[in-house]
Amino acid sequence: MSAEILNVDAITKVFESVRAVDGLSFTVRKGEIFGLLGPNGAGKTTAARMLLGIVRPDSGFIRYFIDGQRGEMPLSYELGYLPEDRGLYKDIAVQKTLVYMGILRGMHREDAAQAAASWLEKVGLTDRAKDKLDTLSKGNQQKVQFISAVLHKPAFAILDEPFSGLDPINQEVFVDIIRSLRDGGTTVLLSAHQMNLVERLADRVLLMNQGREVLQGTIPHLKEQAGSGQKVILSVEGGAEASLFGDLPAVVEAEQMGQGRIAFHLRRGESINEFLVAVSSRVKITAVHSEEVSLHEAFVQFVRLGATQHGAEERP
């Protein structure tokens, strides 16, 4: 197991009457991609701002362990931050802005210029280096914004909603960029609500809702904690409705997918064989398809069922 780079202990932040973050605790290990997931308004951005010292927690502790040094707040060049509320100087050339951002993070001008050129080449924007930012497409502006956050090769980077506003092609580009960042030695804390993308990237995940932790651990462990078993899609004769099967003990949720097609979310540990026998006693099955429940589905399922049904379990 890798050493901790960040330890967050019961941080809370209240804005007037809203508990934006409520007793949140987690650790991030060196070299991993840690996902901070949750719906809009879950408290992810407030948590990220507290990790950066932009907002101070009302209670709780944040400790970093970078290069063997323990401290509440690392030096500026050790951190990278891509904020959710983002923007750069639109009337200034891309390269110039990137160099400035690098300097603010403690780089020397020459190093910043070299790193900016290297990153621009990596994302295919070398020929746009001297163009003003507002002449670039939104996707390319996002790339420049991302580079400005990690240009200085930080030890720890917080990326808040890096995929928002991107089309599927650019989302894939960013998935690759984040992986290469991690491979380059940067530990990444990824805050996002596109769970399918985070599921592909993150080593461990913390799911938040209404400022609190909902689930935490590796993806398989999370699905297990959420009580998610298999997802089985059946085609049945006679156009039977999903509501017919709501009483089956193995079924968490039955969802109508079309005429004669129903998706069943099974409870963890339930046997598919026994489930199929139970269904076939009611209708004739014409086709069966099973797949693993996605993180998104597990989260929705977990929130719907209510956290109270799930006891605290050891985190892997």
Among 14, 103, 278, 303, binds other proteins (CB under 8 A): 103
Residue 56: Cβ-neighbour burial (10 angstroms; 0-12, 13-18, 19+): exposed
18 counts as binding other proteins under rule CB under 8 A: no
Cα–Cα distance measured from residue 89 to residue 144, given in angstroms and rounded to the nearest whole number: 11
Interaction of residue 88 with other proteins, rule CB under 8 A: yes
All residues at 6 or more sequence positions from 105 whose CB lies less than 8 Å from its CB, including other chains: 76, 77, 80, 151, 152, 154
223: Cα separation from own chain's centroid = 15
**128: contact with other proteins by CB under 8 A:** no
Q: Which stretch binds other proteins (CB under 8 A): 99-107, 183-191, 251-259, 267-275?
A: 99-107
Residue 305 in tokens: 């069922």
Scan residues 62-81 and list those touching other proteins (CB under 8 A).
76, 79, 81
- Residue 47 sits at the vertex; the CA angle it makes with 295 and 175, to the nearest 5 degrees, is 45
Shortest Å, Cβ 271 to other proteins: 51
Which range of residues in 45-53, 228-236, 280-288, 297-305 is near other proteins by CB under 8 A?
Answer: 45-53
**If binding is defined by CB under 8 A, does position 92 make contact with other proteins?**
yes
Contact code string over 137-156 relative to other proteins, x by CB under 8 A: --------x--xx-------
Encoded tokens for 60? 């709780």
Q: Which of 9, 89, 175, 290 binds other proteins (CB under 8 A)?
A: 89
* Interface with other proteins, residue 86, by CB under 8 A: yes
- What is d(CA 98, CA 312) in angstroms, rounded to the nearest whole number? 45
Q: Is 242 helix (H, G, I), strand (E, B) or coil?
A: helix
Q: Mask of contacts with other proteins, 189-228, x by CB under 8 A?
A: ----------------------------------------
Contact call for residue 47 and other proteins (CB under 8 A) = no
List the structure tokens of 221: 């462990």
14 binds other proteins (CB under 8 A): no
With contacts defined by CB under 8 A, name the span among 98-106, 161-169, 187-195, 276-284 that binds other proteins. Answer: 98-106
229, burial (CB in 10 Å: exposed 0-12, middle 13-18, buried 19+): buried
Is residue 85 close enough to count as binding other proteins by CB under 8 A?
A: yes
How many Cα atoms occupy the beta-carbon half-sphere of 116 within 13 Å?
A: 25
Give the footprint of other proteins on this chain (CB under 8 A): 49, 52-55, 76, 79, 81-83, 85-90, 92, 100-101, 103-106, 145, 148-149
